[in-house]
Each structure stands twice: as structure tokens, then as C-alpha cells.
């Protein structure tokens, strides 16, 4: 019932905002989105106090919190239902989605000055689909929400984006839609091979785990082929090297609030799906392919960091940083250890907050200076002290400063991967290479901050540069407080994560 309430309130709110006058749309959308945000915070508190010891929703369906299942339709003998629920993996991601959406809507008040009703309505429609992705426990329902994210994101980039917005929007849509088709084909090959009668995710997980005697395709076991196809489909959304090229274009052309949602939540769809499908339903295959998958993750860490080092646009720097950060998630997942897989999940939450904060900070700077180029500005600290102070704090969070969530997440991933049995003798080397990525991150962030924020004031613009408005700085402060809160007290989410990944570790043979 609670999940249905979140979906219904946000969906009805989107309709109201679409019909509202432009001058009221922004504040109306933020007010409406605050309702599901408050509900999700209440659900989070209830989960902490009443459901803290529950297991993984796919492997322990009897322990699902806030579950609701209603029969829906039958598709060729496959029963489809409205089936939703939450566990310790999806609950933090749901809270991240609703909170970040509200803050992103408030941050949009300054930069969005045309067709506001449509913009804010589409943002709320995207929130509806994101809530569904993290709560749906029936594949058909989940896939509807998964694809539903594409439409508002395509329009938000293509209509309100920068000069190359059409190219970026089409590239985003083509990449992610083709990836979804490949993933869909890979998963349904297993569905048909195992004679499933239900598309409920727990039923699929049980059938795939117990599957035997599967056919081969071109000499490749169907389980392995399906795993690779599903990994490809989800990896594009993450994204990992070399499937990442759509992301920088989308980020640079998208309006800042859209970039906040893209980096903060949409990328987590890919890593969440990898955990749910590849590493839970096909755990044995994941263990067999652990080393090549870890190499993909480590290459993404180093390659993304190196590309960020070569950028001159602040938005591109943060965009490539996201590719690097998502590589840590892949490394942690393939470790199949409590801290590795738990740290990877915690990294999803931490990166969602920090990347959203970074993009929002860059957006506030751009709204004031009308430039994002590192060489075009310096000395902003004197003119925009609050914005610059928060931006510096966010950058240090990205670099893994202790008592911030980024440090806890990366430390847990490294701790879990260093002696992972699935990686064998390669574990210390891969972990050390991934740790080197932090050095590169520090290099390009410190360089960018030194050039743009400190030194004598100089900027190539005709606009007056002064402190940002309160409604621009307030969302930054809220996000920074959340980053610090999770850094000081990681157990606010890490305990529930650990309880939910334990069944996956037992299945995968993790220790």
C-alpha cells in the first residue's frame, strides 16, 4: 500500500503540474514531490526499526517489507501481477530517489525559465518510473518502469538541453534502448528454457538457480550467454568502459537538475539491476566470470579518472568522475564478500548523493557566471563563499575524505575485494589499481578547484558575480549534510544492506 501511495501521489502530481500555469509549476512540483519524499523517510525509519533483519527480496520473499501483490494479466501462460516490495537494497535507493528529486526540482527554479509546466511534469513522471524500478518485484511490471524512465529523460534533454541537445538525447535513447533489448532477449531465453509460469522475480530467481541441462548456443552454455547479454544491457546504463560514450554528451547538454537525476539515480538503475539479476539470479556464473568482470570495473575506474583529468568543462569532469566511481561498484559486486558486495551497494547511495551535490554545485556556479570552462574563471571563493565552500566539501567527499560517505563506501569495497576468493591471486593487484584511481581523482579535482575557486578574481563574462540565492544553496546544504551523516554513521543504511546481501553471499559461496 505504501509503495502504491508513492506511485499514485507522484503520478497524480505530474498531471496537476502539467496543467498548472508556468509561473506556479516549479514551486507546485517541489511541494508535491516533498510528499513522497516525507513518506519514503517514514518508510525508511519503519524499515530500520521493524524490518532491519530481513533478507534479500528475491531469495527471501517472505521477508519483503511493504509488499503488495495483485494478479494482473496472463501473457502466453506467464502470470503477471502488480507485485511490489522493498528490502535493504531497494529501500535506501527509493529514499535517495524521492529526496534527490525534491532537491533537484528546487534547484531548477533559477535555470528553467520556459515551458516550466512541461519540464516539472516530466521530472515527476521520471520519479514515478524510478520508484517503480526500485520497488517492482514482477519482471513485466519492472520492465515497464525501466523503459518508462527513457521517455521523460529523452524529452528533458532534447527540449531543455544545450546546443547539441538533439544529438545527445538521440544518442542516449539509442544506446539505452538497444541495451534494454539485448538484456530482454538474454533474460527471456532463460525464462523459456526453464518453463516458468510466473514473472515474479523471486520465482525467476529460484528457477534460474535450480536450472540444469540447459542447451548450448554456438558452443556456449545458455546460462553464460544470457548472463553476458544481461550484463551488456545493464552495463550500458551504469555505464562502464567501453559502453560509456553516451554519458558525457548527455550530462553536458542536459539542464543541471536533469544531470543531478541522471548521475544521482539513473546510473544506479544499472548497478541495482546487475545486483538483482546477474549477481543474485545467476550467482554461479558471476563467480565464474569474476576476474574479467573485475577487470572491466578497474579499467572503468582508471579510464574514467584519466579522461576527467583531460577535461576543461566542469560538467564533463564530474561526468567522467561518475564512470570512475561506478567501476568501484562492479569491483565490489564481483568480490562476493560481505564488505565487497555491501560496500558496492553503499557506494550506490554515496555516489548518488555526492554526484548530485557536485552537479548541483556546478549548476549554481554556471547560473551565476554563465560559463563552466575552467580557464574562463578564477577567484570565485570571494564572490560565492557558501557555494564554493560546499563545492569544496563535495570534492573532498569524492576524494574519500574520512567522515564522509565516499570514504566509507570506497574503504568497504577495497576491504572486501582485497582478498576475495572469486578473484584469486588477482585480487590484491586489481584492488591496488582501483585504489590508484583515488590519486587521479584528487589530481583533477584539486587542479580544477585551484583554477576556478581560488586566487585573484577574474572571469570572462559581463554578468555580475555574487552570492547565489537561498533556494539555490539550500539543496546543496541538505545533500552535504546527508553525505556527512552517512560518513559519520554508515550503519544508517549499511546494516540493512548487509542483511539483504547475506543470502546472495550464501548462494555465491562468499565468506
Taking only the tens of pLDDT, the chain with its 511 residues reads 899 999 999 999 999 999 999 989 999 999 999 999 999 999 999 998 887 777 888 888 888 889 999 998 887 778 899 999 999 999 999 999 999 999 999 999 888 888 999 999 999 999 999 999 999 999 999 999 999 999 999 999 999 988 888 999 999 999 999 999 999 999 999 988 888 888 999 999 988 888 776 777 777 888 899 999 999 999 999 888 888 888 888 988 899 999 999 999 999 999 999 999 999 999 999 999 999 999 999 999 999 888 888 888 888 888 888 888 899 999 999 999 999 999 999 999 999 999 999 999 999 988 888 888 887 888 888 888 899 999 999 999 988 889 999 999 999 999 999 988 888 888 999 999 999 988 888 888 888 888 888 877 777 666 777 788 888 899 999 999 999 999 999 999 999 999 999 888 876 444 4
Instruction: Enter the DSSP assignment of 469.
Output: P
Instruction: Return d(Cα 127, Cα 418) in angstroms, integer.
Output: 37
Is residue 311 within 8 Å of 317, Cβ to Cβ?
yes
Is residue 264 within 8 Å of 100, Cβ to Cβ?
yes
* pLDDT given for residue 473 in this prediction: 92
Instruction: Return d(Cα 394, Cα 378) in angstroms, integer.
Output: 19
* pLDDT given for residue 486 in this prediction: 95
Instruction: Return d(Cα 289, Cα 287) in angstroms, integer.
Output: 5
Burial environment of residue 64 by CB neighbours within 10 A (0 to 12, 13 to 18, 19 or more):
buried
* pLDDT given for residue 510 in this prediction: 44
Q: Which residues pair with 82 in a beta bridge?
A: 70
Q: What are the CA-CA distances from residue 254 to residues 112, 157, 169, 335, 371 (Å)?
A: 12, 5, 9, 35, 15
Is residue 200 within 8 Å of 62, Cβ to Cβ?
no
Instruction: Return d(Cα 251, Cα 248) in angstroms, integer.
Output: 5
Instruction: Return d(Cα 205, Cα 281) in angstroms, integer.
Output: 5
* pLDDT given for residue 462 in this prediction: 67
* pLDDT given for residue 291 in this prediction: 94
For residue 58, the surrounding DSSP H or E stretch is: none
CA angle 338, 187, 78 (to 5 degrees): 115
Instruction: Enter the DSSP assignment of 198.
Output: B
Is residue 439 within 8 Å of 309, Cβ to Cβ?
no
What's the grid cell of residue 482? 546527508
What is the residue range of 91's domain?
A: 2-508
Least Cα distance to 487 among 291, 331, 354 occurs for: 354
Q: In 254-272, which positions are buried (b, 16+ CB within 10 angstroms) versus exposed (e)?
A: bbbbbbbbbbbbbbbbbbb
Give Cα 262 to chain centroid, integer Å: 7
How many residues does this entry show for the chain? 511
Instruction: Return d(Cα 59, Cα 283) in angstroms, integer.
Output: 12
CA angle 65, 100, 492 (to 5 degrees): 50
What residues have CB less than 8 Å from 382, skipping those under 6 apart? Answer: 457
* pLDDT given for residue 461 in this prediction: 66
Packing angle between helix 338-369 and helix 385-398, nearest 10 degrees? 150
Is residue 426 within 8 Å of 294, Cβ to Cβ?
yes
Query: Residue written as cell 524521492?
Result: 98
Is residue 441 within 8 Å of 323, Cβ to Cβ?
no
How many independent structural domains does the chain possess?
Answer: 1
For residue 10, the surrounding DSSP H or E stretch is: helix 2-19
Amino acid at each position: 500500500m505504501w509503495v502504491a501511495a508513492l506511485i499514485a501521489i507522484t503520478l497524480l502530481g505530474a498531471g496537476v503540474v502539467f496543467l498548472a500555469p508556468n509561473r506556479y509549476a516549479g514551486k507546485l512540483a517541489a511541494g508535491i514531490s516533498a510528499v513522497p519524499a516525507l513518506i519514503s523517510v517514514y518508510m525508511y525509519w519503519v524499515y530500520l526499526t521493524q524490518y532491519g533483519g530481513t533478507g534479500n527480496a528475491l531469495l527471501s520473499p517472505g521477508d519483503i517489507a511493504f509488499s503488495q501483490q495483485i494478479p494482473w494479466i496472463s501473457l502466453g501462460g506467464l502470470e503477471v501481477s502488480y507485485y511490489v516490495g522493498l528490502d535493504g537494497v531497494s529501500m535506501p535507493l527509493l529514499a535517495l530517489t524521492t529526496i534527490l528529486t525534491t532537491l533537484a526540482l528546487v534547484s531548477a527554479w533559477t535555470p528553467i525559465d520556459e515551458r516550466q509546466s512541461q519540464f516539472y511534469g516530466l521530472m515527476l513522471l521520471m520519479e514515478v518510473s524510478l520508484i517503480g524500478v526500485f520497488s517492482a518485484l514482477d519482471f513485466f511490471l519492472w520492465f515497464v518502469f525501466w523503459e518508462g524512465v527513457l521517455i521523460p529523460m529523452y524529452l528533458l534533454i532534447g527540449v531543455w538541453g544545450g546546443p547539441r541537445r538533439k544529438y545527445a538525447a538521440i544518442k542516449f535513447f539509442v544506446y539505452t534502448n538497444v541495451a534494454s533489448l539485448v538484456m530482454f532477449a538474454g533474460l527471456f531465453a532463460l525464462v523459456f528454457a526453464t518453463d516458468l509460469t510466473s514473472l515474479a522475480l523471486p520465482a525467476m530467481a529460484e528457477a534460474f538457480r535450480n536450472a540444469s541441462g540447459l542447451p548450448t548456443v554456438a558452443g556456449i552454455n545458455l546460462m553464460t550467454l544470457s548472463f553476458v547479454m544481461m550484463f551488456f544491457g545493464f552495463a550500458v546504463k551504469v555505464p562502464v568502459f567501453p559502453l560509456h560514450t553516451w554519458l558525457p554528451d548527455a550530462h553536458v547538454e542536459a539542464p543541471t537538475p536533469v544531470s543531478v537525476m541522471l548521475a544521482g539515480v539513473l546510473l544506479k538503475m544499472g548497478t541495482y539491476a546487475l545486483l538483482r539479476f546477474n549477481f543474485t539470479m545467476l550467482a554461479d556464473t558471476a563467480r565464474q566470470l569474476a576476474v574479467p568482470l573485475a577487470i572491466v570495473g578497474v579499467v572503468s575506474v582508471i579510464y574514467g579518472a584519466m579522461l576527467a583529468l583531460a577535461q576543461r568543462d566542469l560538467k564533463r569532469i564530474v561526468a567522467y568522475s561518475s564512470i570512475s566511481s561506478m567501476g568501484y561498484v562492479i569491483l565490489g559486486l564481483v568480490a562476493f564478500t560481505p564488505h565487497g558486495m555491501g560496500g558496492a551497494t553503499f557506494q550506490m547511495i554515496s555516489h548518488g548523493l555526492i554526484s548530485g551535490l557536485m552537479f548541483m554545485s556546478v549548476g549554481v556556479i554556471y547560473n551565476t557566471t554563465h560559463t563552466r570552462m575552467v580557464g574562463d574563471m578564477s577567484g570565485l571563493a570571494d564572490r560565492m563563499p557558501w557555494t564554493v565552500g560546499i563545492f569544496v566539501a563535495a570534492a573532498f567527499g569524492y576524494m574519500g575524505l574520512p567522515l564522509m560517505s565516499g570514504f566509507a563506501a570506497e574503504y568497504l569495497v577495497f576491504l572486501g575485494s582485497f582478498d576475495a576468493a572469486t578473484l584469486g591471486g588477482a585480487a590484491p593487484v586489481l584492488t591496488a589499481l582501483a585504489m590508484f584511481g583515488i590519486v587521479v581523482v584528487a589530481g583533477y579535482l584539486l587542479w580544477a578547484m585551484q583554477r576556478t575557486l581560488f586566487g585573484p578574481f577574474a572571469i570572462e563574462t559581463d554578468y555580475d558575480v555574487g552570492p547565489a540565492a537561498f533556494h539555490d544553496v539550500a539543496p546543496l546544504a541538505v545533500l552535504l549534510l546527508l553525505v556527512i551523516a552517512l560518513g559519520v554513521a554508515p550503519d544508517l543504511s549499511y546494516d540493512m544492506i548487509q542483511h539483504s546481501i547475506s543470502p546472495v553471499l550464501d548462494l555465491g559461496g562468499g565468506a
